[in-house]
């Protein structure tokens, strides 16, 4: 329990906040030029804050813990670039809701982390500021788009991190870097202050070295906010232990690397036995439509969201500064929006999303958890980004949760060829998901050599 112990040491004063921050800053100075996880390190701000905390009453759920923040979440005074030259000149003018909550609980923002440009990607290679390196499997990509947040947590630059997940961007890098990551249910965490990729699918969520840290950060950032009308007013529950878990042949069929599925299944069987979970099999008809339904929605909403980057307010016009993938989405979104009076793409995609949502709603009346891989393959070698079609298909396991608006989380499950593999859980409710992730986390701690 890395996070729990650390928090205890900070709260009791056994470790001072200043000392803690200094150690991590030194590690960042030494290793970040190689790993490229942080785009901006808030050295002075973090030290001033740590000193302030050391003088105070040592209270707060996150007291003294440090955070990396994905560069698409507003933090006042820091460069919020979305890893794009488009926003070269932009500094956050306010704090996102999640940042306000973190600060109120004694957390320390260490800086802004690298990502795929505008959160479009699967590998962390499309940042305008160079790729992030996977600290655990250095020849391979760390996953994306929240590449810097995952790598920073994995290497210990910071204790916890924030990412955003539209179709898998928290879960995919968590899996590839061997850490824990969670996409909360839609509306659970305020999106106020997030520069959106696709507003009907985006959620901010936690990345952590262990399930304790993940649940802790979720607990801090979740809840109703007046700034985001989509947030739910329902209180955040304490964790609940699941009783049933499902595997599905529909997801098994989507997994191209069979070694990954075998490992996932093995782990599910072991945990089900150890924790007395009833194991069932469920089939899904529409999940195979998820990738095709996702992209028309993302293209359309991204096109609309990027119209503000017209070069007058924030720096450069996006079309003149962005990479190929970002441009593809803008141009595609423009075409879809023009054709939309015939309801050909966007509305049809929304119908498919609804069919997927209905299917999951039914499933979670029968089971508490659904287990599956996070990605169909191991992370590719750095510099070998596949074609757009193949990259899109890579999110087949993560996208359904975003389309259905439900929560999903990833816990480390083991290694294949020395590369980390994350097991993904879906659940109908966040507190059941966290309970389930905790069970898998415990199992892993007990079975690690
Ligand atoms: N890979 C997906 C995309 O490029 C998901 C990105 C994300 O979740 N931000 O759209």
Quick check: CB of 165 below 6 Å from ligand 1?
yes
Q: What is the structure's pLDDT at 449?
A: 42
Same domain, 13 and 88: yes
Same domain, 222 and 155: yes
Among 323, 341, 359, identify where a domain stops: 341
Same domain, 199 and 322: no
Same domain, 53 and 190: yes
| Choice from 70, 71, 83, 144 to test ligand 1 binding pocket (greatest atom count within 8 A of CB) | 144
Same domain, 221 and 299: no
Same domain, 313 and 243: no
Same domain, 224 and 361: yes
Q: What is the structure's pLDDT at 268?
A: 98
Q: Which of 84, 68, 74 is nearest to 32 (CA)?
A: 68
Same domain, 192 and 299: no
Quick check: CB of 68 below 6 Å from ligand 1?
no
| Per-residue tens of pLDDT for the chain, all 449 residues | 599 999 999 999 999 999 999 999 999 999 999 999 999 999 999 999 999 999 999 999 999 999 999 999 999 999 999 999 999 889 999 999 999 999 999 999 999 999 999 999 999 999 999 999 999 999 999 999 999 999 999 999 999 999 999 999 999 999 999 999 999 999 999 999 999 999 999 999 999 999 999 999 999 999 999 999 999 987 766 678 999 999 999 999 999 999 999 999 999 999 999 999 999 999 999 999 999 999 999 999 999 999 999 988 887 999 999 999 999 999 999 999 887 666 788 999 999 999 999 999 999 999 999 999 999 999 999 999 999 999 999 999 999 999 999 999 999 999 999 999 999 999 999 999 999 999 999 887 766 54
Domain, as residue range, for 240: 1-286+348-449
Same domain, 303 and 362: no
Q: Which residues are catalytic?
A: 70, 145, 169
Same domain, 295 and 282: no
CATH of the domain at 371: 3.90.1300.10
Domain count, the chain: 2
| Choice from 145, 296, 379, 397 to test ligand 1 binding pocket (greatest atom count within 8 A of CB) | 145
* Beta bridge pairs of residue 336: none
Among 302, 323, 341, identify where a domain stops: 341
Which residue in the block uniquely carries the two structure tokens 């393959």?
377
Same domain, 316 and 216: no
Total-model pTM: 0.97
Same domain, 234 and 315: no
Task: Please identify, by atom number, the ligand 1 atom nearest to the C-alpha of residue 168.
Answer: 8
Among 325, 341, 357, identify where a domain stops: 341
DSSP structural state of residue 239: P
DSSP structural state of residue 410: E
Q: What is the structure's pLDDT at 88?
A: 87
**Mind spelling out the 3-state secondary structure of 57-101?**
CCCCCCCCCEEEEECCECCCCCECCCCCHHHCCCECCCCCHHHHH
At residue 244, the 3 state secondary structure works out as strand
């Amino acid at each position: 329990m890395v996070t729990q112990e650390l928090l205890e040491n900070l709260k009791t004063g056994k470790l001072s906040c200043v000392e803690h921050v200094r150690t991590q800053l030194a590690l960042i100075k030494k290793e970040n030029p190689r790993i490229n996880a942080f785009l901006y390190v808030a050295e002075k701000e973090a030290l001033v804050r740590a000193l302030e905390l050391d003088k105070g009453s040592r209270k707060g759920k996150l007291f003294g813990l440090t955070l990396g923040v994905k560069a698409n979440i507003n933090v006042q005074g820091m460069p919020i670039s979305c890893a794009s030259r488009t926003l070269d000149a932009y500094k956050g003018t306010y704090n996102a809701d999640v940042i306000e909550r973190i600060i109120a609980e004694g957390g320390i923002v260490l800086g802004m982390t690298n990502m795929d440009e505008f959160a479009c990607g699967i590998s962390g290679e499309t940042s305008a500021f160079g790729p992030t390196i996977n600290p655990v499997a250095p020849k391979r990509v760390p996953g994306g788009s929240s590449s810097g947040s995952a790598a920073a947590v994995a290497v210990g630059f910071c204790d916890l991190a924030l990412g955003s997940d539209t179709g898998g961007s928290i879960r995919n890098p968590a899996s590839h870097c061997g850490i824990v990551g969670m996409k909360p249910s839609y509306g659970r965490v305020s999106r106020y202050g997030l520069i959106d990729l696709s507003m009907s699918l985006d959620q901010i969520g936690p990345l952590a070295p262990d399930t304790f840290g993940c649940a802790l950060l979720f607990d801090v950032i979740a809840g109703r906010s007046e700034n985001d009308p989509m947030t739910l007013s329902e209180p955040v529950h304490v964790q609940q232990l699941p009783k049933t878990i499902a595997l599905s042949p529909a997801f098994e069929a989507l997994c191209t690397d069979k070694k990954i599925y075998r490992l996932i299944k093995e782990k599910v069987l072991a945990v089900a036995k150890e924790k007395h979970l009833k194991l069932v099999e469920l089939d899904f008809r529409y999940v195979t439509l998820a990738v095709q339904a996702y992209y028309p929605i993302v293209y359309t909403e991204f096109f609309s969201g990027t119209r503000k980057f017209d070069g007058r307010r924030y720096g450069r016009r996006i079309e003149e500064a962005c990479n190929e993938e970002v441009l593809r989405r803008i141009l595609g979104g423009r075409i879809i929006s023009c054709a939309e009076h015939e309801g050909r793409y966007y509305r049809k995609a929304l119908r498919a999303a609804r069919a997927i949502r209905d299917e999951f709603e039914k499933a979670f009346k029968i089971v508490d958890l659904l287990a599956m891989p996070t990605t169909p393959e191991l992370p590719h070698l750095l510099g070998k980004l596949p074609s757009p079609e193949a990259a899109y298909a890579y999110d087949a396991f993560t996208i359904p949760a975003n389309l259905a608006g439900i929560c999903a989380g990833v816990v480390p499950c083991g290694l294949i060829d020395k590369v980390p593999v994350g097991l993904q859980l879906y659940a109908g409710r966040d507190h059941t998901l966290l309970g389930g992730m905790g069970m898998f986390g415990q199992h892993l701690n007990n079975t690690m050599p």
